[in-house]
Amino acid sequence: MSGTPTREARNTEQAKPEQRRSPHRIDTGQSCSRGEAILRWTLMTIAAAVVLGPLLWQLSTALKGAGESTSGFLGSLVPSDPTLRNFVTAFTEIPLGQYLLNSTAIAATGVAVNLVIATITGYALARIPFRGRAVYMAVLLATATLPFEVILVSTLLVTRNLGLQDTLLGVVLPQGVAITAIFVMRQAFRGIPTELEEAATVDGAGPFRMFLRVMLPNVKGSLAVVTVLGFLDSWDQFLWPLVILSDPDKYPVSVGVQYLSGAFSADQRVISAAALVVILPPLLVYMFTQRHVFSGLAGGALKG
């Protein structure tokens, strides 16, 4: 048994995201025939069009003036008189700005809770032996398969009884524990060589100083991954905010935009503009972090 932790730690080190081949950057090192290249390009163009099409159409609708029809054939795909007025309307006449503020507050609090919980729990699971640790690990893994929908109604009752309905904490806390994040952090802490810990112990570092000064600086990469994934998750949340918030002024963007699109006969142009504004932040985060975050994500899924 004594050799096991070290061996596993070594495995983790080898599997660090930085060293893994990224799905975003591919170099097969072999060239392909001209025919194959043309076929691949054609098919890739079609695939890209299927993904881009709805988004571009949305953009086209959002840029159309009030006088221009949103229907009719693709001749009207390019707006005859593009205007940004719909984007302005989305902020002035519908409370998109308020929704964005709410979402930002929820995301900031959610990411903070998620980050703290994942870090300290992951650290304990990786580095602090305690009675029942193996059992708790098993419980965590088991609960990872429990869909939130199963406890939706009960969680609503608990949260309401705590007086957290229509509050920021009521939205954030029930979703504050991300099991994936805990395991990402656990893996990261396991990858730190034991020698470093022993050296710090000999230097007289207590358990908390050890955690803050020695361990945390070594897992910055994983902290970034957990932050990005936490943000994306929070921005995407729909069912729980919908259930726990009854005051439309407190809605996050995902609930707000669908509420507006259904609440009254909304202008399709304005809703399209609002939807694009909502999609933009996670898209930007993705573009800037994809190589570091998502190659690791895919690799992590493979191990599971």
> Looking only at residues 195 through 224 of this chain, which bind another protein when binding is defined by CB under 8 A?
195, 197-199, 201-203, 207-208, 211
Is residue 177 near another protein by the rule CB under 8 A?
A: yes
Single out the segment in contact with another protein by CB under 8 A; choices: 78-86, 89-97, 219-227, 267-275: 267-275
Query: Which of residues 34 and 81 has its CB atom nearest to another protein in the complex?
Result: 34
Q: State the Cα–Cα distance between residues 242 and 171, nearest whole angstrom.
A: 9
Instruction: Please choose, from the candidates 195, 192, 240, 237, the residue with its C-alpha nearest in 3D space to the C-alpha of residue 218.
Output: 192
> Which residues, including other chains, have CB under 8 Å from residue 100's CB and lie 6 or more apart?
253, 277, 278
Write down the least CB distance from residue 171 to another protein, Å.
12
**Interface pick for another protein out of 166, 180, 285, 292 (rule CB under 8 A):** 285
Which residues within the stretch 2-41 sit at the binding site for another protein (CB under 8 A)? 2-3, 5-6, 21, 23-30, 32, 37, 40-41
Single out the segment in contact with another protein by CB under 8 A; choices: 83-91, 93-101, 215-223, 230-238: 230-238
Write down the least CB distance from residue 290 to another protein, Å.
7
Is residue 253 near another protein by the rule CB under 8 A?
A: yes
Write down the least CB distance from residue 92 to another protein, Å.
20
Q: State the Cα–Cα distance between residues 7 and 12, nearest whole angstrom.
A: 9
> Are residues 119 and 216 in contact, defined by beta-carbon separation less than 8 angstroms?
yes
Single out the segment in contact with another protein by CB under 8 A; choices: 84-92, 104-112, 219-227, 235-243: 235-243
Which residues within the stretch 125-164 sit at the binding site for another protein (CB under 8 A)? 127-130, 136, 143, 145-147, 149-159, 162
Single out the segment in contact with another protein by CB under 8 A; choices: 81-89, 93-101, 219-227, 280-288: 280-288
**Interface pick for another protein out of 80, 262, 263, 288 (rule CB under 8 A):** 262
Q: State the Cα–Cα distance between residues 249 and 256, nearest whole angstrom.
A: 9
Q: State the Cα–Cα distance between residues 83 and 103, nearest whole angstrom.
A: 27
Query: Which of residues 108 and 285 has its CB atom nearest to another protein in the complex?
Result: 285
End-to-end alpha-carbon separation of the chain, Å? 23
- CB-based contacts of 14-21 (< 8 A; 24+ apart in sequence): 15/299, 15/303, 16/191, 16/221, 17/221, 17/225, 17/292, 17/295, 17/296, 17/299, 18/221, 18/292, 20/295, 20/296, 20/299, 21/295
User: Where does the chain show beta strands of DSSP type E?
Assistant: none
Which residues within the stretch 98-127 sit at the binding site for another protein (CB under 8 A)? 116-117, 120-121, 123-124, 127
